Structure 1
Amino acid sequence: MSKEKDVSNHYLHGDLLKAIETALPKLGKTTDSITIEDLAPIDEFHIGGRQATENFLSQLNFSDKEHLLDIGCGLGGASRYISNKYNNRVTGIDLTDEYITTGNTLSTWLNLHNQVNLHQGSALSMPFQDESFDGAYMMHVGMNIENKTQLFKEIFRVLKPGTSLGVYDVMQNNDGDLIYPVPWASNKNTSYLAQPGQYKTALQEAGFVVTKDNNRRDFALDFFKALREKTEANGGPPPLGLHTLMQESTADKIKNMIHNITEGYIAPVEIISHKT
């Protein structure tokens, strides 16, 4: 089995759309009344959720006339958020077919299907023409991709000159044995962590100019602390959330990730770069 198939299988739910539909009555919503904010707890599968998305995107300064690329888009939550708030057209690509089909349905529920288009495919060989996009971003994607130089060369290919690329990934902080499972991998066989310096080298080898990097370790720990307190205060998780995606493995994956961050082995890091 290929590495990409292993990665895709890790995220496979089996009946994700039905799980989301089943939760709607508990929210007091239907497919006609659901909102971007209602979907946020499940829609943004990365550390910090919507708060992290807003902070990350604010540094990229995309304009509303730009066609953007969401690499490793998952359900397309960030794509829909951008399209809804800034009126951008966004194209997403992700390995996991179930995420793509479910995400396109969610876009239809929110009447964003004409602006957000999600495609199943590999970020290492994208079905897009050269210089197709006015900007790109990826959020918690590189941990599943071993050859980051090839990844960034492919992104460089499809971006127009003068555009920006934002990366928000979990990166290796210090040497140490990570505890698995974590949200992106059940074991080390599909986990390809790299240090921020390795990311920057790969970006530069692909042709990008790196202008900024920001370690978000403290933000991550504060986020998980607040999430735990909110869950306890409410007597359990909300109808929709990370547990909807990760099912029975949620508690172990989150606990292990918090441990790995606390011990200093990993941290979410933002890197902003440009194609000149």
Structure 2
Amino acid sequence: MGAVWHTAREYGVNRGMLANIEMLGDMAMERTEDRVVAHYGVDGLMERIEAALVEAGADLAALMPADLKPVDEFHTGGLQATEDLLSQLEISPEMAVLDIGSGLGGTARFLTQRFGVRVTGVDLTPEFVDVATRLSAAVGLQEAVRFETGSALDLPAASGSIDLETMLHVGMNIEDKAALMAEVARVLAPGGRFAVFDVMRTGEGALEFPYPWAEEAGFSFVAPPEDYLAGAEAAGLLPVAQRDRSEFALSFYRNVFAKTKEMGGPPPVGLHLLMRGTAGPKLQNYMRSVEAGLIAPCEMIFAKPG
């Protein structure tokens, strides 16, 4: 706080005023996080997923990770997008991996299956953490992945202890990208990598809510790539790769919409289970905004020097 105090003093702000400003900021962040939890939480989610799996013909006593893929990769492009992002990285079994905003655990389970790593997932939504833990046990991966309730701005890891951090479709709910990058950099080991796949602002114009990540603008913080890059630079992270996945996203969702129309509705197991009956309008708004060039799903990979 010392550097902040010296700057504030130049503008006539005393320590009491600064403390109040910081307290108000913390309260605002807590309110935003509470709204995010309320947005993503779904009552009885595990039971709904189990019922959908049974309807799809799965044997709950012999579940495989592949059975969960239609519902456990809650981001643009699903499993294919996960593979595309992680294929750009060198990942080995001894690495410590942290998945930020781990949702139902799909990315964490993919990482441990494909690369043999142990993964910790952290997510704001307690029900997601519970379901991710139970699904991992159901497919026999409970020893390789674990999940904790927590914030991306206060990660449950020691400084310099993580070799790889992943974050897929999470930053849209985090207003302070600089604070996010600073916390990512804190726990990342020298030489470590941070792989991001977020929806980012790519054009001017009004966004039409709702979207999968927010019902309204009050807790949607879609930012341009430049904000991520600036936050990373301030935190000492170096950009390694960057890619706009708009065409991939449009192709993916056109295929989803076509299959849904052909079937007369969504399949039993799918992301609609997480969106309380509003998947259609949310995804349609998302695709229209991507087509208009207002937003785009973008990959970014950063490295910590060392």
Could you say which TM-score interval applies, normalised by the shorter chain? over 0.9
Query: Which residue of structure 2 aligns with residue 57 of structure 1?
Result: 86
Shift of 1:24: 2.0
In 2: Cα distance, 1:176 partner to 1:85 partner: 40
Query: Which residue of structure 2 aligns with residue 193 of structure 1?
Result: 222
Shift of 1:198: 1.3
Query: Which residue of structure 2 aligns with residue 165 of structure 1?
Result: 194
Read off the aligned partner of 1:226 and give its amino acid letter. N
Shift of 1:211: 1.5
Shift of 1:126: 1.6
Query: Which residue of structure 2 aligns with residue 263 of structure 1?
Result: 292
Query: Which residue of structure 2 aligns with residue 17 of structure 1?
Result: 46
Read off the aligned partner of 1:156 and give its amino acid letter. A
Read off the aligned partner of 1:92 and give its amino acid letter. G
Shift of 1:64: 2.1
Read off the aligned partner of 2:162 and give its amino acid letter. F
Query: Which residue of structure 2 aligns with residue 156 of structure 1?
Result: 185
Q: Provide, for residues 193-223 of structure 1, a one-character-per-residue CA deviation record: whole Å limited to 9, x for no partner.
A: 1111111111111110001110011111001
Shift of 1:87: 1.1
Query: Please, which of 212, 224, 244 is the counterpart of residue 215 of structure 1?
Result: 244
Shift of 1:32: 2.2
- SS across alignment from 1:161: strand
In 2: Cα distance, 1:122 partner to 1:9 partner: 15
- SS across alignment from 2:61: coil
- TM norm structure 1: 0.98
1:178 aligns with 2:210: no
Query: Which residue of structure 2 aligns with residue 89 of structure 1?
Result: 118
In 2: Cα distance, 1:225 partner to 1:63 partner: 35
Of the two structures, which has the highest relative contact order with CA contacts closer than 8 Å and spacing of 6 or more?
1
Q: CA RMSD in A?
A: 1.0
In 2: Cα distance, 1:233 partner to 1:86 partner: 36
Shift of 1:232: 2.2
1:134 aligns with 2:163: yes
1:7 aligns with 2:43: no
- How many positions carry a matched residue from both structures? 276
Q: Which moved more, 1:1-10 or 1:185-194?
A: 1-10
- SS across alignment from 2:121: strand
Read off the aligned partner of 1:183 and give its amino acid letter. P
Shift of 1:133: 1.1
- TM norm structure 2: 0.88
Read off the aligned partner of 2:81 and give its amino acid letter. A
Q: Provide, for residues 205-262 of structure 1, a one-character-per-residue CA deviation record: whole Å limited to 9, x for no partner.
A: 1110001110011111001111112222333211110111102111111111111111
- SS across alignment from 2:223: coil
Query: Which residue of structure 1 aligns with residue 268 of structure 2?
Result: 239
Q: Does the aligned pair in 1 maintain the 2:54–2:60 contact within 8 Å?
A: no
In 1: Cα distance, 2:188 partner to 2:258 partner: 42
Q: Provide, for residues 65-119 of structure 1, a one-character-per-residue CA deviation record: whole Å limited to 9, x for no partner.
A: 2120100111111000111121110000000000000010000001111110010
1:24-43, aligned counterparts within 5 Å?
Answer: 24-43=53-72
- SS across alignment from 2:276: helix
Q: Does the aligned pair in 1 maintain the 2:202–2:294 contact within 8 Å?
A: yes
Asked which structure has the greater CA Rg, the reply is 2
In 1: Cα distance, 2:85 partner to 2:53 partner: 29
Query: Which residue of structure 2 aligns with residue 45 of structure 1?
Result: 74
In 2: Cα distance, 1:24 partner to 1:182 partner: 26
- SS across alignment from 1:85: helix
- Segments of structure 2 that go 5 or more residues without pairing to the other structure are 1-29
Query: Please, which of 227, 235, 239 is the counterpart of residue 256 of structure 2?
Result: 227
Query: Please, which of 105, 124, 135 is the counterpart of residue 134 of structure 2?
Result: 105
- Segments of structure 1 that go 5 or more residues without pairing to the other structure are none
Shift of 1:159: 1.1
In 1: Cα distance, 2:62 partner to 2:264 partner: 26
In 1: Cα distance, 2:68 partner to 2:156 partner: 28
In 2: Cα distance, 1:238 partner to 1:66 partner: 36
- Paired-residue identity, %: 41
Query: Which residue of structure 1 aligns with residue 13 of structure 2?
Result: none
In 2: Cα distance, 1:158 partner to 1:134 partner: 9
